[in-house]
């Protein structure tokens, strides 16, 4: 309706989503106008203004969430650099405008129009308009510079992350809620009419223009958050979580590789025979560095992490590969930084700091069997062993497999926690991760697909007797 509104239309039925006063520059204590974000029954938004000289006529009707029937508003172009909606027009209530309250508005309650994190990261969203986002918090960042700011890492249901910064009363609202609900597993946040800014290539979403324009919902009892929680729970049930203890680093296979700037894929080095450009018709061997995915040639190589570590839990020992994104977070340095310090011949001490620590490992149950090494899921450090609040700190892995572990409470950062039961913790890891080449990784049964052969080539299939713990 609002998207098709023209000067010939006389009536519009709308709901006021947000309302705030625009201060007078010369008299800051007085409002020059009242600005609003209105929404029609189809969920379309538009900006609306009322000048000071008409306050006496319309102020009694202008309340947030009020439903109005407006007759003869003035329609004009929204020429402001920063627009509160993606509509190019705006309306003004003036001398010929009549307003009446209505009670039969059939549009959405909150009027959310969520923007995907993928479109934000691909820079498809303008910095000069507002957006709505919904996601759950995976970690908080603290700063000593200011108390009116709180920065978090936001993750959506597809695993995409952006940074969210709340200012002033919304930062205080988030801090208070978290402090009073420490037992909650997830903090799902909606920021409505926020804005996005790009800093050093990273998108930051924040509440726009202080406290007056944006709205923030934290685990609120509204339909959008309820549906998000259900989908998040379904994703959790389709994932495998385990506690692991890092034991060793495979130093003989190296800890880095030269990768692509764009896609992180390992660069291939080849040599081509080309005709010299000096006109001598002679040939020369030229070194060519190419990305197999981007199909582009690079003059320089970018070092990236590829660390093979040995980890174990109550079921066995496996080898996992830690790639650049997670290794950089855990070590807090880039591969280039370590190469500058230690060179190619020395093994960095910072990598050894990963040993003898507990981690939470997550893998997709549906895709894990067919994963290649470059697609292994992420390792998320569980700050230290004190963060594992419901596990036995004296647990001796492998040597005490029969020990009872009823529940394990994983805390990722300071915000997101996951409860993992014994049935999830104890499972066949060698079907999911990069295991040793030995075909026998279980003390009680053969790995699926492996059939032992006799020296004469005959196949001998025997029933396996489970090993009884003494």
| Residue that wins the pLDDT comparison between 370 and 183 | 183
pLDDT digit string, tens, across residues 220-230:
999 999 999 99
Query: Could you tell me the residue ranges of all domains in the chain?
Result: 2-101, 117-237, 241-431
Q: What is the mean pLDDT of residues 388-405?
A: 30
C-alpha–C-alpha distance, residues 145 and 163, integer Å:
18
Short-list 319, 288, 294, 293, CA closest to 306: 319
| Confidence label for 14 from pLDDT (cuts 50, 70 and 90) | very high
Q: Which of 3-7, 65-69, 82-86 has the weakest average pLDDT?
A: 3-7
Radius of gyration of the chain (CA): 30
Average pLDDT of the residues of the chain: 74
pTM of the model: 0.56
| Residue that wins the pLDDT comparison between 51 and 461 | 51
Q: What is the mean pLDDT of residues 92-102?
A: 91
Q: What is the mean pLDDT of residues 197-214?
A: 83
Short-list 247, 267, 259, 252, CA closest to 335: 259
Q: Is the pLDDT of residue 213 over 80?
A: yes
| Confidence label for 137 from pLDDT (cuts 50, 70 and 90) | very high
Short-list 192, 191, 201, CA closest to 150: 191
Q: Is the pLDDT of residue 332 over 60?
A: yes
C-alpha–C-alpha distance, residues 195 and 57, integer Å:
32
pLDDT digit string, tens, across residues 268-281:
887 877 777 777 77
Q: What is the mean pLDDT of residues 455-470?
A: 46
Residue 162: what pLDDT? Answer: 92
C-alpha–C-alpha distance, residues 458 and 447, integer Å:
19
Q: Is the pLDDT of residue 77 over 60?
A: yes
| 202-207 and 161-167 beta bridge pairing | parallel
Q: Is the pLDDT of residue 405 over 70?
A: no
Residue 366: what pLDDT? Answer: 43
C-alpha–C-alpha distance, residues 75 and 56, integer Å:
21
C-alpha–C-alpha distance, residues 354 and 348, integer Å:
11
Q: What is the mean pLDDT of residues 113-130?
A: 90
C-alpha–C-alpha distance, residues 241 and 75, integer Å:
56
The yes-or-no answer to whether 2-101 and 117-237 have a common fold is yes
What are the φ/ψ torsions at residue 258 (nearest 5 degrees)?
A: -95, 120
| Confidence label for 159 from pLDDT (cuts 50, 70 and 90) | confident
C-alpha–C-alpha distance, residues 284 and 272, integer Å:
8
C-alpha–C-alpha distance, residues 9 and 72, integer Å:
8
Q: Is the pLDDT of residue 323 over 70?
A: yes
Short-list 57, 58, 54, CA closest to 68: 58
- As its CATH architecture, domain 241-431 has Beta Barrel (2.40)
| Residue that wins the pLDDT comparison between 237 and 291 | 291
C-alpha–C-alpha distance, residues 274 and 467, integer Å:
64
C-alpha torsion 82→83→88→91, nearest 10:
-120
Q: What is the mean pLDDT of residues 382-391?
A: 31
Q: Which of 82-86, 100-104, 149-153, 391-395 has the weakest average pLDDT?
A: 391-395
Residue 449: what pLDDT? Answer: 43
C-alpha–C-alpha distance, residues 363 and 351, integer Å:
23
Q: Is the pLDDT of residue 436 over 50?
A: no
| Residue that wins the pLDDT comparison between 347 and 359 | 347
Percent of the chain predicted with pLDDT > 70:
71
**Cβ(2)–Cβ(45) below 8 Å:** yes
Q: What is the mean pLDDT of residues 16-32?
A: 88
| Residue that wins the pLDDT comparison between 55 and 320 | 55
| Confidence label for 145 from pLDDT (cuts 50, 70 and 90) | low
Q: Which of 87-101, 314-328, 329-343, 388-402 has the weakest average pLDDT?
A: 388-402
Residue 238: what pLDDT? Answer: 67
- As its CATH architecture, domain 2-101 has Beta Barrel (2.40)
Percent of the chain predicted with pLDDT > 90:
27
Residue 295 CB partners (closer than 8 Å, separation 6+): none
Short-list 93, 89, 11, CA closest to 44: 89
Residue 35: what pLDDT? Answer: 92
- As its CATH architecture, domain 117-237 has Beta Barrel (2.40)
Per-residue three-class SS string for the chain: CHHHCCCCCCEEEEEEEEEEEEECCCCCCCEEEEEEEEECCCCCEEEEEEEHHHHHHHCCCCCCCCEEEEECCEEEECCCCCECCCCCEEEECCCCCEEEECCCCCCCCCCCCECCHHHHHCCCCCCCECEEEEEEEEEEECCCCCCCEEEEEEECCCCCEEEEEEECHHHHHHHHHHHHCCCCCCCEEEEEEEEEEEECCEEEEEECCCCCCCEEEECCCCHHHHHHHHHHHHHHHCEEEEEEEEEEECHHHCCEEEECCCCCCECEEEEEEEECCCCCCCEEEEEEEECCCCCCECCCCEEEEEEEEEEECCCCEEEEEEEHHHHHHHHCCCHHHHHHHHCCCCCCHHHHCCCCCEEEEEEECCCHHHCCHHHCCCEEECCCHHHCCCCCCCCCCCCCCCCCCCEEEEEECCCEEEEEEHHHHCCCHHHCCCCCCCCCCCCCCCCCCCCCECCCCCECCCCCCCCCCC
Short-list 469, 467, 468, 433, CA closest to 242: 433
Q: Which of 95-109, 319-333, 430-444, 450-464 holds the top average pLDDT?
A: 95-109
Q: Is the pLDDT of residue 15 over 80?
A: yes
Q: What is the mean pLDDT of residues 52-76?
A: 91
């Amino acid at each position: 309706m609002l998207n098709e509104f023209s000067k010939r239309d006389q009536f519009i039925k709308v709901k006021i989503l947000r309302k705030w006063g625009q201060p007078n520059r010369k008299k800051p204590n007085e409002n020059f106008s009242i600005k609003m974000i209105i929404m029609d029954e189809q969920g379309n938004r538009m900006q609306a203004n009322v000048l000071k000289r008409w306050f006496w006529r319309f102020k009694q009707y202008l309340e947030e969430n009020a439903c109005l029937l407006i007759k003869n508003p003035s329609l004009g172009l929204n020429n402001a650099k920063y627009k509160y909606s993606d509509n190019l027009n705006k309306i003004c209530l003036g001398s010929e405008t009549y307003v009446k309250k209505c009670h039969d508005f059939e549009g959405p309650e909150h009027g959310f129009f969520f923007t995907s994190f993928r479109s934000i990261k691909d820079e498809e969203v303008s910095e000069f308009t507002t957006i709505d986002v919904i996601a759950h918090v995976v970690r908080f960042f603290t700063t000593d510079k200011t108390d009116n700011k709180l920065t978090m890492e936001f993750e959506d249901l597809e695993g995409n992350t952006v940074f969210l910064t709340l200012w002033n009363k919304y930062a205080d609202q988030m801090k208070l809620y978290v402090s009073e609900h420490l037992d909650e597993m997830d903090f799902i946040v909606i920021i409505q009419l926020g804005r996005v800014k790009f800093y050093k290539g990273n998108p930051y979403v924040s509440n726009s223009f202080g406290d007056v324009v944006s709205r923030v919902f934290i685990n609120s009892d509204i339909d959008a958050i309820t549906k998000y929680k259900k989908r998040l729970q379904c994703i959790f049930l389709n994932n495998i979580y385990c506690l692991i203890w890092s034991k060793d680093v495979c130093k003989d296979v190296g800890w880095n590789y030269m990768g692509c700037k764009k896609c992180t894929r390992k660069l291939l080095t080849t040599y081509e025979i080309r005709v010299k450009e000096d006109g001598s018709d002679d040939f020369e061997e030229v070194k060519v560095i190419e990305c197999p995915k981007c199909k582009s040639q690079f003059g320089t190589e970018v070092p990236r992490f590829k660390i093979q570590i040995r980890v174990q839990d109550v079921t066995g020992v496996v080898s996992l590969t830690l790639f650049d994104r997670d290794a950089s977070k855990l070590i807090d340095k880039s591969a280039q930084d370590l190469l500058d310090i230690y060179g190619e011949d020395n093994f960095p001490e910072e990598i050894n700091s990963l040993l003898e620590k507990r981690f939470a490992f997550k893998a997709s149950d549906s895709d894990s069997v067919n994963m290649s090494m470059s697609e292994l899921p992420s390792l998320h450090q569980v700050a230290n062993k004190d963060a594992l609040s419901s596990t036995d700190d004296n647990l001796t892995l492998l040597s005490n497999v029969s020990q009872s572990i009823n529940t394990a409470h994983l805390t990722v950062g300071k915000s997101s926690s996951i409860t993992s039961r014994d049935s999830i913790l104890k499972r066949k890891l060698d079907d999911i991760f990069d295991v040793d080449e030995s075909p026998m990784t279980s003390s009680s049964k053969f790995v699926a697909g492996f059939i032992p052969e006799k020296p004469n080539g005959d196949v001998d299939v025997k029933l396996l007797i489970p090993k009884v713990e003494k």
